[in-house]
């Protein structure tokens, strides 16, 4: 029988535990901070998307080959949350239902823990992804991920996210922020999983076409939850976007407009799965979760 998404999540958690240095190993404090943030209760949507994409591209063997990449993406995602919460960025006290890394430890430790998660991510892909017989695929997946993290992806998106506080943004500006700050890593997750699983080029193209609207929808739903959710359910401070006067899909289009746009993205993503014959994959179930989630 095929594993469930909960079983995927347990597999990812066990693998992350294996990849992360022990707290008792030097430098203990950085390792403790890395583990504190990784095991704080994230939803693991990105690694699950990666494994689902790998399965769609290469079945159970594909999934095994993409496991280290799935974990690497979660390391990078957690790194980006630690740095996003720093006083010089979004200055937040609560993340994944716990004090943020710099509150639980200190700012220098949080910066180093984030840096260490990022470098570990690239190390585990380089040493443990795709099988030693397939270095070209590993290189391609590494390139996709590094680009998604760089100035054309998360760093560029984060820079604009900070820049547009209190400044009006056009719908085009906002879409660029969302696509880079959040969408880029989701696209890289799905494409990298498909590549390492050995998927043929037309399947990788279909996976990308699925991931792009899902990445955008993910951040639109995040904007909606920031308005509608409460800190207890979200595990992070609610109402931050309005407090920081940030442009969001809800501030530009209203709650109903944002909901409609997230729904349109989901419809587009579903249509690509239909076209590629992938409707019985886990991708569809995760896409539904992205849209209907409450945290
Ligand atoms: C170089 C990777 C890199 C980053 C540096 C700090 C930074 C630049 C970027 C921050 C980008 C950021 C925080 C985007 C928000 C993405 C988002 C919607 C996060 C919430 O994701 P969930 O809901 O969280 O999946 P959990 O806690 O469940 O994992």
User: What are the pLDDT digits (tens) for 115-174?
Assistant: 999 999 999 999 988 765 678 999 999 999 999 999 999 999 999 999 999 999 999 999
Residue with tokens 């990788």: 204
Distance CA 184, CA 44 (A): 16
CA of 219 to the centre of ligand 1 (A): 10
Cα separation, 176 vs 112, in Å, equals 29
Phi, psi torsion values for 94, nearest 5 degrees: -130, 135
| 29 pLDDT above the threshold of 60 | yes
Cβ neighbours of residue 268 closer than 8 Å, sequence gap 6 or more: 213
The pTM score is 0.97
Q: How far apart are CA 197 and CA 281, in angstroms?
A: 15
- Choose the weakest-confidence range: 5-9, 22-26, 218-222, 233-237: 233-237
CB neighbours of 17 closer than 8 A, spacing ≥ 6?
A: 39
- 92 backbone dihedrals φ, ψ, rounded to 5°: -115, 150
Gap between the Cα atoms of 37 and 102, Å rounded: 10
Question: Which residues sit with their C-beta closer than 6 Å to ligand 1?
Answer: 42-43, 45, 76-77, 79-81, 83-84, 96, 149, 154-155, 158, 181-182, 219, 222
Q: Over the stretch 252-294, which tens digit does the pLDDT of each residue have?
A: 999 999 999 999 999 999 999 999 999 878 999 999 999 999 8
Examine the pLDDT at 26 and tell me if it is beyond 90: yes
User: Helix (H, G, I), strand (E, B), or coil: what is residue 94?
Assistant: strand
Residue 238 has pLDDT above 90, yes or no: no
Express as a percent the part of the chain with pLDDT over 90. Answer: 88
Where does the pLDDT of residue 31 fall: very low under 50, low under 70, confident under 90, or very high at 90 and above?
very high
Cβ(141)–Cβ(207) under 8 Å?
A: no
Return phi, psi of residue 98, to 5°.
-135, 165
Q: For a substitution probing ligand 1, which of 118, 145, 181 has the most ligand atoms within 8 Å of its CB?
A: 181
Give the pair of three-digit tokens for residue 262: 């997230």
Helix (H, G, I), strand (E, B) or coil at 95: strand
The pLDDT > 70 percentage for the chain reads: 98
Q: How far apart are CA 290 and CA 263, in angstroms?
A: 11
Residue where the block lists tokens 């890289």: 188
When the pLDDT of each residue in the chain is averaged and rounded to a whole number, the result is 95
Which token pair is 62?
């594909």
CA of 52 to the centre of ligand 1 (A): 20
CA 185 to ligand 1 center in whole angstroms: 9
- Give pLDDT, residue 4: 87
**Angle formed by the axes of helices 171-178 and 201-228, nearest 10°:** 110
pLDDT tens-place string over residues 75-106: 999 999 999 999 999 999 999 999 999 999 99
Q: Judge residue 69's burial from the number of C-beta atoms within 10 Å of its C-beta, 0-12 exposed, 13-18 middle, 19 or more buried.
A: buried
For position 129, what pLDDT does the model report? Answer: 82
Nearest ligand 1 atom, CA 77: 2
Q: How far is the CA of 74 from the centre of ligand 1 (A)?
A: 10
pLDDT tier at 240 (50, 70, 90 boundaries)?
confident
What distance in Å separates the CA atoms of residue 108 and residue 102, rounded to the nearest whole number? Answer: 8
d(CA 70, CA 166): 36
Buried b (16+ CB within 10 A) or exposed e, 134-147: beebbebbbebbee
């Amino acid at each position: 029988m095929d594993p469930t998404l909960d079983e995927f999540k347990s597999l990812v958690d066990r693998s992350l535990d294996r990849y992360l240095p022990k707290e008792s190993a030097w430098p203990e404090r950085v390792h403790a901070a890395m583990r504190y943030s990784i095991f704080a209760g994230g939803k693991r949507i990105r690694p699950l998307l990666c494994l689902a994409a790998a399965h769609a591209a290469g079945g159970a063997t594909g999934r095994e080959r993409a496991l280290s990449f799935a974990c690497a993406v979660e390391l990078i995602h957690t790194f980006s949350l630690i740095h996003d919460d720093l006083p010089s960025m979004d200055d937040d006290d609560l993340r994944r239902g716990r004090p943020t890394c710099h509150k639980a430890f200190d700012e220098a430790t949080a910066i180093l823990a984030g840096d260490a998660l990022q470098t570990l991510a690239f190390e585990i892909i380089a040493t443990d992804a795709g099988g030693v017989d397939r270095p070209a695929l590993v290189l391609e997946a590494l390139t996709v991920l590094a680009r998604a993290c760089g100035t054309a992806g998360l760093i560029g998106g984060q820079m604009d996210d900070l820049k547009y506080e209190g400044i009006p943004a056009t719908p085009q500006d906002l879409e660029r922020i969302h696509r880079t700050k959040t969408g880029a890593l989701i696209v890289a997750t799905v494409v990298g999983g498909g590549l390492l699983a050995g998927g043929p080029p037309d399947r990788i193209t279909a996976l990308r076409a699925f991931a792009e609207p899902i990445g955008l929808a993910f951040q639109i739903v995040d904007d909606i939850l920031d308005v509608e959710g409460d800190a207890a359910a979200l595990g992070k401070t609610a109402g931050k976007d309005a407090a920081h006067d940030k442009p969001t899909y809800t501030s530009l289009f209203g709650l109903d407009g944002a909901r409609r746009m997230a729904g349109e993205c989901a419809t587009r993503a579903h249509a690509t799965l239909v076209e590629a014959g992938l409707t019985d994959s886990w991708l569809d179930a995760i896409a539904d979760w992205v849209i209907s989630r409450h945290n």
